[in-house]
């Protein structure tokens, strides 16, 4: 009996010692693991399909011969459309080459499948469409951006007047307007932010303002630049000049809206004549004609 008790005590002490040693070993291992720097598992980074496509378009654009005379005009159009990357002209030329070749190849395949007699004309027409499409897209973006700048300019001027009257300088006021209206009118805020960057780079205010008007290509903004340049040159009140110009822009916007409203009646003549009147005739005269045909044809046959 004493021997069995001794064995049980020895076994229990051994088990407890083993468990305690394992626990202490795990605590030490966790502490060492926390102190060691984390291993960075390097996963292979696959290039994005969009980045691959952009690189392909840029390389194709660099291979396309471009005229030195048309390049400044193209860059000005891309800048006014909001495409101001360093390689914007290369992307444009590459996209134009891809659309031209792609649509021409599509026209060739379609003409060969349909056995068209005018295969050359089909290919030439599709290639011309592919050549024109990128420029049409840029022109559409230019119009939308100009309209957005014209729409947001009066609000920007009102906020600019508030900032100037509160004691800020014209440069700080323009910077504050670019921050506050970034969500509502991002286009004109981008122009103001770029102007601030030019001023920080050391350009004169008049030169930065003229660059702003040239980048945007909006007549109302050019008039605002002229007002600011004259105010800076002659030392007149900036707040009063901006307030008067804001009122002028709102009057001009109201007059343009009234002009569009007055043209609406003339523009509605053709849709009414070709779309509304035929349906009106069908609804009003159609039942009468069907009744006459239904009643008169039996009478004529009986006669």
Reported as a single tens digit per residue, the pLDDT across 77-117 is 998 898 888 888 889 999 999 999 999 999 999 888 888 78
pTM of the model: 0.70
**pLDDT tens column, 245-300:** 888 888 888 888 899 888 888 888 888 888 888 888 888 888 888 887 787 777 77
What percent of the chain shows pLDDT beyond 70?
A: 86
Same domain, 79 and 108: yes
Question: Does residue 220 surpass a pLDDT of 60?
Answer: yes
Domain around 136? 50-142
Give the tokens for residue 117.
């007699």
Mean pLDDT over the full length of the chain? 83
Domain CATH code at residue 195: 1.20.81
Question: Does residue 55 surpass a pLDDT of 90?
Answer: no
Residue 287 belongs to a domain: no
Query: Minimal CA–CA distance to 149: which of 208, 204, 212?
Result: 212
Highest mean pLDDT among 49-58, 109-118, 187-196, 246-255: 187-196
Better-predicted residue by pLDDT, 59 or 34: 59
Same domain, 216 and 169: yes
List Cβ neighbours of 168 (8 Å cut-off, separation of 6 or more): 176
Cα separation values, 255 from 119, 165, 179, 242, Å: 51, 28, 30, 20
Q: What is the pLDDT of residue 115?
A: 81
Reported confidence tier of residue 28, pLDDT bands at 50, 70, 90 = low
Same domain, 158 and 222: yes
Residue 252 belongs to a domain: yes
**Rg of the chain over all Cα atoms, to the nearest angstrom:** 38
Total of domains in the chain = 2
Question: Does residue 40 surpass a pLDDT of 70?
Answer: no
Query: Minimal CA–CA distance to 89: which of 123, 116, 65, 109?
Result: 65
Lowest mean pLDDT among 11-25, 190-204, 285-299: 11-25
Q: What is the pLDDT of residue 170?
A: 85
């Amino acid at each position: 009996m004493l021997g069995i008790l001794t064995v049980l005590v020895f076994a229990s002490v051994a088990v407890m010692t083993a468990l305690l040693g394992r626990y202490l070993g795990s605590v030490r291992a966790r502490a060492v693991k926390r102190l060691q720097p984390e291993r960075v598992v390097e996963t292979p980074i696959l290039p994005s399909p969009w980045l691959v496509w952009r690189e392909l378009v840029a390389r194709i654009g660099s291979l396309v011969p471009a005229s030195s005379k048309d390049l400044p005009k193209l860059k000005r159009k891309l800048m006014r459309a909001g495409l101001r990357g360093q390689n914007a002209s290369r992307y444009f030329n590459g996209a134009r080459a891809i659309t031209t070749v792609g649509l021409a190849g599509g026209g060739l395949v379609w003409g060969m499948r349909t056995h068209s007699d005018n295969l050359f004309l089909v290919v030439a027409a599709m290639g011309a469409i592919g050549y024109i499409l990128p420029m049409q897209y840029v022109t559409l973006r230019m119009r939308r951006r100009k309209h957005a700048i014209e729409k947001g300019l009066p609000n920007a001027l009102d906020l600019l007047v508030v900032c100037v009257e509160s004691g800020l300088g014209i440069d700080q006021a323009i910077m504050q307007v670019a921050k506050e209206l970034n969500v509502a009118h991002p286009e004109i805020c981008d122009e103001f932010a770029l102007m601030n960057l030019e001023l920080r780079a050391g350009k004169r205010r008049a030169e930065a303002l003229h660059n702003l008007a040239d980048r945007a290509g909006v007549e109302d903004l050019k008039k605002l630049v002229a007002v600011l340049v004259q105010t800076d040159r002659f030392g007149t009140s900036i707040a009063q000049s901006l307030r008067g110009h804001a009122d002028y822009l709102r009057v001009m916007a109201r007059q343009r809206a009234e002009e569009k409203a007055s043209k609406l009646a003339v523009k509605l003549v053709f849709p009414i004549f070709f779309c509304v009147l035929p349906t009106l005739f069908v609804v009003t005269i159609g039942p009468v004609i069907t009744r006459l045909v239904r009643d008169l044809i039996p009478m004529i046959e009986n006669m």
